[in-house]
A and B are shown apart, each in its own frame.
Chain A
Amino acid sequence: MSFLNYFRSQKKRSAAVAKERLQIIVARERSHRGGPDYLPMLQEELLQVIRKYVKVEDDAVKMQLDRAGDCEVLELNITLPEDSEQEARRG
């Protein structure tokens, strides 16, 4: 430890930023791994369809492919914004 560290510690170190970004992207890419190639496209198209009716964020559609015995189970989780029902009625 040197006394200069005191002045340096203010700013977030670039290595910490790198680690954080990597953890997020790697986790996302791992979750797509092993599934069929069409999953990312299916996810994107579902998002487009939902957007015809409701305004949602880019990450509103979450997909998870699991295996239960001999079956593959595709779990879909779509998050709608809180005031979406009222908006839909008005629209």
Chain B
Amino acid sequence: MAKIVVVTSGKGGVGKTTTSAAFSAGLAKAGHKTVVVDFDVGLRNLDLIMGCERRVVYDFVNVINGEANLNQALIKDKRVEGLAILPASQTRDKDALTQDGVERVLNELSEDYDYIVCDSPAGIERGAHLAMYYADAALIVSNPEVSSVRDSDRVLGLLSSKTRRAENGDAPVEEHLLLTRYAASRVGKGEMLSVEDVCEILAIDLLGVIPESTSVLNASNAGVPVILEEKTDAGQAYVDAVARFLGEEREHRFLTEKKGFLGRLFGG
């Protein structure tokens, strides 16, 4: 039985797909069979971030409609053993996802995989709703910025009311905060919400802080999940977050700015 993890945020552009790619690669590297599913039907991008865009033949909607079976649609990652991608359809719209269809596909994946990571589209419409509906755990991706934090809180409300677990009265969906694009230097100057501020407002478990980093764009340019770039700060921050998710205790890094002598003298 697989654990279903939704990567969600409400707001767009905060790093859901980057996180889905990094997190699923991290789980697979840690030895857990993992499949990452793109729920952003009509605007698929996970394939591009994972670097397998030219290998897409069939997609999620084809499987739901019975036009292909799962094995035809799943793309096995060439770098990480035990990692597969189920791409979204690019030509259909979000109504092509049906609740029954999604449940059937997740049940089938559940037989073969330990983790199913669902990359949610932005917004709170059908695609986002279905991505979170069957979740056991949720990664709330948020930037230290007012609109993103507010949307995250809205999504937390939906997780506690509009999911299968909520409707069945089961144990609630586990909620984990992943704060991305964190610029410690700007926090130091009082120009950006700090990790403590965001945690105080959202009041959920902090899984990790991913620093604002050039390595994220470099990795997406190359189609490599940033977690595989082990020398980069963002890559290491994702490694830590995955380890914490798997129950390990690790101290949070990248929360303060690295400063040289002049920086310490003149910086804020």
Indicate, yes or no, whether A interacts with B. yes
- When distances are taken between beta carbons in the complex, the residues of chain A under 8 Å from B197 are 15, 18-19
Q: Find A2's partner among B150, B193, B267 (CB 8 Å cutoff).
A: B267
- When distances are taken between beta carbons in the complex, the residues of chain B under 8 Å from A8 are 268
- The residue of chain B having its C-beta at the shortest distance from the C-beta of A13 within the complex is B190
Do B157 and A19 touch across chains, with their CB atoms under 8 A apart? no
Q: Does A86 contact B (CB under 8 A)?
A: no
Q: Find B161's partner among A5, A14, A22, A34 (CB 8 Å cutoff).
A: A34
From known contacts A21-B146, A23-B201, A29-B153, infer whether A16 and B267 are also in contact, taking CB-CB under 8 Å: no
Q: Give 1 or 0 for each of A38-51: 1 = CB within 8 Å of chain B CB.
A: 00000000000000
Do A14 and B190 touch across chains, with their CB atoms under 8 A apart? yes
Q: What is the size, in residues, of chain A's interface with B at 8 Å between Cβ atoms? A: 19
Q: Which of A1-37 contact B (CB under 8 A)?
A: 2, 4-5, 8, 13-16, 18-19, 21-23, 25-26, 29-30, 33-34
- When distances are taken between beta carbons in the complex, the residues of chain B under 8 Å from A34 are 157, 161
How far apart are the CA atoms of A18 and B143 in the complex, in Å?
Answer: 13
- When distances are taken between beta carbons in the complex, the residues of chain A under 8 Å from B157 are 29-30, 33-34
Instruction: Report how many A-B pairs have Cβ atoms within 8 Å.
Output: 53
Do A19 and B268 touch across chains, with their CB atoms under 8 A apart? no
How near does chain B come to A2, taking the closest CB pair, in angstroms? 6
How near does chain B come to A13, taking the closest CB pair, in angstroms? 3
Do B190 and A30 touch across chains, with their CB atoms under 8 A apart? no
How near does chain B come to A18, taking the closest CB pair, in angstroms? 5
How near does chain B come to A47, taking the closest CB pair, in angstroms? 24
How far apart are the CA atoms of A15 and B268 in the complex, in Å?
Answer: 14
How near does chain A come to B144, taking the closest CB pair, in angstroms? 8
- The residue of chain A having its C-beta at the shortest distance from the C-beta of B263 within the complex is A2
- When distances are taken between beta carbons in the complex, the residues of chain A under 8 Å from B266 are 2, 4
How near does chain B come to A29, taking the closest CB pair, in angstroms? 7
How far apart are the CA atoms of A16 and B161 in the complex, in Å?
Answer: 31
Q: Give 1 or 0 for each of B179-190: 1 = CB within 8 Å of chain A CB.
A: 000000001011
How near does chain A come to B61, taking the closest CB pair, in angstroms? 30
The main secondary structure of chain B at its interface with chain A is helix
Q: Does B226 contact A (CB under 8 A)?
A: no
Interface residues on B, range: 20 to 34
Do B146 and A15 touch across chains, with their CB atoms under 8 A apart? no
How far apart are the CA atoms of A4 and B153 in the complex, in Å?
Answer: 36
Q: Give 1 or 0 for each of A59-76: 1 = CB within 8 Å of chain B CB.
A: 000000000000000000
Known: A2-B267, A19-B197, A26-B153. 18 other contacts (CB 8 A): A2-B265, A4-B266, A4-B267, A14-B190, A15-B190, A15-B191, A15-B193, A15-B194, A16-B190, A18-B145, A18-B146, A19-B200, A22-B149, A22-B150, A22-B201, A29-B153, A34-B157, A34-B161
- What residues make up the interface of A, taking CB atoms closer than 8 Å to B? 2, 4-5, 8, 13-16, 18-19, 21-23, 25-26, 29-30, 33-34
The 5 closest A-B pairs by CB, nearest first: A13-B190, A33-B157, A19-B197, A15-B190, A26-B153
Q: List 17 A-B contacts (CB under 8 A).
A: A2-B268, A4-B267, A4-B268, A13-B189, A15-B191, A15-B197, A16-B190, A18-B193, A19-B200, A19-B201, A22-B150, A23-B201, A26-B150, A26-B201, A30-B157, A33-B161, A34-B157
